[in-house]
Structure 1
Amino acid sequence: MLMHAHLAGDPQAFNELIRRHRTLLRVVALRVLENHHDADDAVQDSLIRAFRSAHTYSGRSSVGAWLRTIVENTARTAARSRSRDQNRVVQIDGTQLAEAEQVGGDPAVIVANRERIASALAQIPLQWRRTFVLVKINGLSYAEAAEVLDIPIGTVRSRINRANAARAKQRAQKTSAAPGTI
């Protein structure tokens, strides 16, 4: 009934649909994206899409099911996009890390080490890597990284320490595996 009222031009009908379904839609988005801010964005984008494409609602399912499908598809698209962006960032950050660790070094050596460093970063667990990249590569403070990741500042400190320990272990393994190399 509310969808028919909306299509007939009732300006409050869609608002009532939102009011009735918003909490469930947010739960659906949160389940897919695992981040409150991203879930809120996905719900907002989905509601705009639903508003604009309300004329395509066929009535074969409930309006709630139709809205949940839109939110789930939007959230999945956002998750895929975020995953691609994170993979792209790791490659760039590996290059930045190589340059940062070897300031004044021979450019040929820096280029040779870029792939090794990117590979080393990729071996650090994702949560630690994200935190490490934000703080050590992108220069965010611990407080800023905590806000971006929506975690306590103590968790940021812990992840940085664990990432540093993992990197040190990797360097030690490389050094022991290839004596005479740095």
Structure 2
Amino acid sequence: MEMANDDAAAAAAVRAGDESAFASLVERHRRELRVHCYRMLGAFADSEDLVQETFLRAWRSRGGFEARSTFRAWLYRIATNACLDVLAQRPRRVLPYDVAPAAGSGTALPLPMDGPWLEPCPDHLLSGAVPADQAPDAVLVAKETIELAFLAAIQHLPPRQRAVLIMRDVLGWSASDTAGSLDLSVAAVKSALQRARSTLRRHLPRSRLEWGSVAGATAEERVLLRRYVDAHRRGDGDALAALLSEDVRVSFPPLPLWVDGRDSFIAGSKEFADAGEYRYVETGANLQPAAAVYLRRPSDTVFRLLALEVLRIEKGRIAEIVDFNDPAVLAAFGLAPAL
């Protein structure tokens, strides 16, 4: 990781205490560092705080920066270790599958649970987060490894294994650079990566075991999303069922609630239909097709924002829906509160 001449000159100014040069350097990397912190934590709301903490730590330790690596790599090292400090004090992020059995036909609606829940990330904050000079294959991997399925799977890794996996398989760092960033031996990095990959295989959907084939929501997936929205708009249960995998899973954080299978979901949808009239607005989260859900209750005059549904699609069918209805999560997407 050799430093370019312009970066070396700017870094020299930073070491000399030039705040303007420092601000200019770090702002180039804000967006990608936020995505990195989001991957590490699984919490969108915390990622910006960790970026600010990274910049603060970098400024405080600027005198120790050496031009043997890039300024970007140095920031990633600081950000990763800041995330590890947070993860050492907090439990892993979860989805309802991790905390409750699948709901049955007579299951009462549970009360919301504080979590900590895995959080989605708005697509508009992911655009441009991968540096343009990275190889196309690296960009594809980076996009696929922001999906909720990947983020949920790496929550099962101990924090340091998670860091190794992200640095080696997402960022594409060498074992030597990863070891230097995490104060580990190269042998320890290789061992941690092997264990992390083994755990990942047990928790990722089968279709996601091979990376590099997904580049965000495809045109086909967008068409399927529109068909999904239209089926809901028309209240057409048969059309909706035709879009779902037989073994589809649907979860509802922050409720510790999820349903397993197409028949269970369709039956539940009929019960929810009695709540009022729904409207769906297409959007995107984690580079997956998503829809904002609005509800107009019988006693109301407007459609009010209710939830954000993020879809995972496999082989032309919807295989998973995560239905987020935490107000804090919805606020992050900048969605209209009412229609």
- TM (norm. structure 2) is 0.28
The higher relative CO (CA closer than 8 Å, separation ≥ 6) is in: 2
The structure where helix makes up a greater share of residues is 1
Larger radius of gyration: 1
- TM (norm. structure 1) is 0.50
